[in-house]
Structure 1
Amino acid sequence: MKLVGAIVKKSTLLAFVAAAATVPFTAASQDAQSQAAALVAHMTLPEKVAQLQSNAPAIPRLHIAAYDWWNEGLHGHARDGDATVFPQAIGLAASWDTGLLHDVGSVVSTEARARFNAAGAGHSHARYEGLSIWSPNINIFRDPRWGRGQETYGEDPYLTGQLAIGFIRGIQGDDPAHPRAIATPKHFVVHSGPESGRHGFDVDVSPHDLEATYLPAFRAAIVDAHADSVMCAYNALHGTPVCADDALLSTRLRHDWGFKGYVVSDCDAIDDMTEFHYFKPDNAQSSAAALKAGTDLDCGDAYAGLLDAVHQGYVTEKALDTALTRLFAARYRFGEWGGGNDPYASIGLDQIDTAAHRQFALQAALESIVLLKNEHGALPLSAGARVAVVGPNADTLETLEANYHGTARAPVTPLQGLRQRFGAQQISYAQGAPIAGGVPVPIPETALRTPDGSQPGLTGEYFATPDFNGKPALVRTDRRIDFDWDHAAPADGLPVSGDAVRWRGELLPPGAGDYTLALHVDRCFDCASHDPLRLYIDDRLVVDDNGSDTSMQAKLHFDDTHPHAIRIELLHSGQDQGLRLQWLAPAAAQLAEAESVVRHADAVVAFVGLSPDVEGEELKIDVPGFNGGDRTDIGLPAAQRDLLERVAASGKPLVVVLMSGSAVALNWAKAHADAIVAAWYPGEDGGDAIAQVLAGDYNPGGRLPVTFYQSTSDLPPFVSYATQGRTYRYFKGTPLYSFGFGLSYTHFSYSDLQVSAPQLQAGGALQASVLVRNDGKRAGDEVVQVYLDAPDDALAPRHALVGFRRVHLAAGESLRIPFTLTPRELSEVDAAGRRAVEAGHYRLFAGGAQPGDGEGVANTFVIVGRQALPR
Structure 2
Amino acid sequence: MASSLSSLLPLLLLSLTSFAALSLADYPLPYNFTHVCDAKRYASLNLSIPDFAFCDKSLSYYVRAKNLVDSMNLTEKAKQLGNNNNGEWYAVAAGVPRLGLPAYNWWSEALHGVSYIGGGTSFGGPDVKAATSFPLPINSAAAFNATLWREIGKTISTEARAMNNLGFAGLTFWSPNINLVRDPRWGRALETPGECPTTAGIYAINFVRGLQDVEGQEHSNDPNSRPLKVSACCKHYAAYDVDYWRTTGSMTVDRFHYDANVTERDMVESYLKPFEMCVKEGDVSSVMCSYNKINGVPACADGRRMRGTIRDEWDLHGYVVSDCDSIKTIFEKQQWLDDTAIEATAQVMRAGLDLDCGWYYAQYLEETVKKGLIKESDVDEALINNYIVLLRLGWFDGNPLYDNLNASNVCSVDNMKLAASAARQGMVLLKNKGDALPLSPQKFKRIAIVGPHANATEVMIGNYNGVPCRYISPIDGLKKYAEVDYKCRGCRCAVGLNLTYEREDWDRTGFDLPGYQNHLIETVANVSKGPVVVVIFSSGTINISSFVKSGDVDAIIWAGYPGQEGGQAVADIIFGAYNPGGRLPVTWYPSEYTSQIPETSQQFRPNDELGYPGRTYRFYNGTTQFDFGYGLSYTKFSYSFVNPNVLVTKNVNNARQCYNFLPFEDKQLTDVPACQSALVSDLDCTAGDVSVQVSVTNVGKLDGSDAVMLYAKQPQGLIGAPIKDLVAFERVFLKAGESKVVSFEIDACKRLAFVTESAQEVLPQGEHTLLVGDQKLPVYVHLQKEV
Structure-1 residue corresponding to 2:453: 393
Structure-2 residue corresponding to 1:57: 94
SS of 1:420's equivalent? coil
2:703 is matched by which residue type in structure 1?
A: A
Q: Tell me by how many angstroms 1:22 deviates.
A: 10
Q: Tell me by how many angstroms 1:282 deviates.
A: 2.0
Match of 1:252 among 303, 309, 316: 309
Match of 1:834 among 745, 760, 764: 760
The 8 Å contact of residues 325 and 356 in structure 2, kept in 1 or not, is answered as yes
The 8 Å contact of residues 379 and 694 in structure 1, kept in 2 or not, is answered as yes
Matched, 1:859 2:777: yes
Give distance in 1, aligned partners of 2:52 and 2:731: 47
SS of 1:412's equivalent? coil
Structure-2 residue corresponding to 1:604: none
Q: Identify the range of structure 1 (228-237 vs 833-842) with the bigger mean alpha-carbon deviation.
A: 833-842
Match of 1:42 among 52, 71, 83: 71
Structure-2 residue corresponding to 1:155: 195
Structure-1 residue corresponding to 2:516: 639
Structure-2 residue corresponding to 1:843: 769
SS of 1:656's equivalent? strand
Give distance in 2, aligned partners of 1:846 and 1:666: 27
Q: Tell me by how many angstroms 1:662 deviates.
A: 2.1
Structure-1 residue corresponding to 2:404: 346
Q: Tell me by how many angstroms 1:753 deviates.
A: 4.6
Match of 2:624 among 724, 735, 760: 735
Q: Tell me by how many angstroms 1:840 deviates.
A: 2.3
SS of 1:300's equivalent? coil
1:2-46 CA-partner distances (Å, limit 9, x unpaired): xxxxxxxxxxxx9x9954279883112212221111011011111
Map of 1:436-451 to 2, 5 A cutoff?
446-447=489-490
Give distance in 2, aligned partners of 1:658 and 1:21: 61
Give distance in 1, aligned partners of 2:161 and 2:334: 37
SS of 2:265's equivalent? helix
Higher relative contact order (CA 8 A, sep 6+): 2
Give distance in 2, aligned partners of 1:162 and 1:361: 20
Q: Tell me by how many angstroms 1:275 deviates.
A: 0.9
Match of 1:105 among 153, 156, 161: 153
What 5-or-longer segments of structure 1 have no aligned partner? Answer: 1-13, 120-127, 432-445, 448-509, 511-584, 591-607, 619-628, 848-855
1:204-234 CA-partner distances (Å, limit 9, x unpaired): 1011111111111101100001001000011
Match of 1:797 among 712, 719, 722: 722
1:139-176 CA-partner distances (Å, limit 9, x unpaired): 00111100101100000000111111110000002336
Note closer, same or farther for the CA distance 1:283–1:779 as it changes in structure 2 (3 Å cut).
same
Match of 2:256 among 196, 199, 202: 199
Give distance in 2, aligned partners of 1:62 and 1:719: 50
SS of 2:770's equivalent? strand
Give distance in 2, aligned partners of 1:389 and 1:244: 52
2:141 is matched by which residue type in structure 1?
A: A
Match of 1:333 among 392, 404, 413: 392
Note closer, same or farther for the CA distance 1:199–1:833 as it changes in structure 2 (3 Å cut).
same
SS of 1:187's equivalent? strand
Structure-2 residue corresponding to 1:320: 379
Give distance in 2, aligned partners of 1:301 and 1:92: 35
Map of 1:245-644 to 2, 5 A cutoff?
245-279=302-336, 280-303=338-361, 304-339=363-398, 341-383=399-441, 384-385=443-444, 386-422=446-482, 426-431=483-488, 446-447=489-490, 585=492, 608-618=495-505, 629-644=506-521
Return structure 1 stretches of 4+ with deviation > 6 angstroms: 21-24
SS of 1:373's equivalent? strand
The 8 Å contact of residues 133 and 469 in structure 2, kept in 1 or not, is answered as no
Q: Identify the range of structure 1 (743-752 vs 608-617) with the bigger mean alpha-carbon deviation.
A: 608-617
Note closer, same or farther for the CA distance 1:759–1:346 as it changes in structure 2 (3 Å cut).
closer
2:177 is matched by which residue type in structure 1?
A: N
The 8 Å contact of residues 838 and 866 in structure 1, kept in 2 or not, is answered as no
Matched, 1:167 2:207: yes
Structure-1 residue corresponding to 2:105: 68
Give distance in 1, aligned partners of 2:51 and 2:581: 53
What 5-or-longer segments of structure 2 have no aligned partner? Answer: 1-42, 83-90, 117-121, 124-129, 219-225, 245-252, 606-613, 651-677, 679-684
Give distance in 2, aligned partners of 1:372 and 1:24: 61
The 8 Å contact of residues 194 and 718 in structure 1, kept in 2 or not, is answered as no
Structure-1 residue corresponding to 2:636: 747
Structure-2 residue corresponding to 1:499: none
Match of 1:693 among 544, 553, 573: 573
Q: Identify the range of structure 1 (128-137 vs 174-183) with the bigger mean alpha-carbon deviation.
A: 174-183
Q: Identify the range of structure 1 (724-733 vs 750-759) with the bigger mean alpha-carbon deviation.
A: 750-759
Structure-2 residue corresponding to 1:520: none
SS of 1:182's equivalent? coil
Note closer, same or farther for the CA distance 1:307–1:866 as it changes in structure 2 (3 Å cut).
farther
The 8 Å contact of residues 459 and 561 in structure 2, kept in 1 or not, is answered as yes
Give distance in 2, aligned partners of 1:757 and 1:662: 37
Structure-1 residue corresponding to 2:563: 683
Q: Tell me by how many angstroms 1:305 deviates.
A: 1.0
1:300-342 CA-partner distances (Å, limit 9, x unpaired): 0011211110111111111000000111111122222344x53
Number of aligned pairs? 654
2:411 is matched by which residue type in structure 1?
A: D
Structure-2 residue corresponding to 1:483: none
The 8 Å contact of residues 639 and 775 in structure 2, kept in 1 or not, is answered as yes
SS of 2:585's equivalent? coil
The 8 Å contact of residues 94 and 703 in structure 1, kept in 2 or not, is answered as yes
1:808-854 CA-partner distances (Å, limit 9, x unpaired): 0111111111112212101010011111111122121113xxxxxxx
SS of 1:787's equivalent? strand
- Decide which structure has greater strand share: 1
2:479 is matched by which residue type in structure 1?
A: R
Note closer, same or farther for the CA distance 1:643–1:316 as it changes in structure 2 (3 Å cut).
same
Q: Identify the range of structure 1 (639-648 vs 135-144) with the bigger mean alpha-carbon deviation.
A: 639-648
Matched, 1:236 2:293: yes
The 8 Å contact of residues 24 and 62 in structure 1, kept in 2 or not, is answered as no
Structure-1 residue corresponding to 2:164: 116
1:232-276 CA-partner distances (Å, limit 9, x unpaired): 011111111111111111111112111121000000011111011
Note closer, same or farther for the CA distance 1:22–1:681 as it changes in structure 2 (3 Å cut).
farther
SS of 2:727's equivalent? strand
Give distance in 1, aligned partners of 2:381 and 2:206: 30
The RMSD of aligned alpha carbons is 2.1
The 8 Å contact of residues 649 and 784 in structure 2, kept in 1 or not, is answered as no
The 8 Å contact of residues 647 and 782 in structure 2, kept in 1 or not, is answered as no
Give distance in 2, aligned partners of 1:238 and 1:47: 36
Structure-1 residue corresponding to 2:742: 817
Give distance in 2, aligned partners of 1:226 and 1:200: 31
Give distance in 1, aligned partners of 2:591 and 2:131: 38
Give distance in 2, aligned partners of 1:268 and 1:353: 33
The 8 Å contact of residues 284 and 317 in structure 2, kept in 1 or not, is answered as no
1:74-97 CA-partner distances (Å, limit 9, x unpaired): 000111331100001100100101
Match of 1:723 among 587, 593, 604: 604
Note closer, same or farther for the CA distance 1:105–1:50 as it changes in structure 2 (3 Å cut).
same
Percent of pairs with identical residues: 37
TM-score (norm 1): 0.73
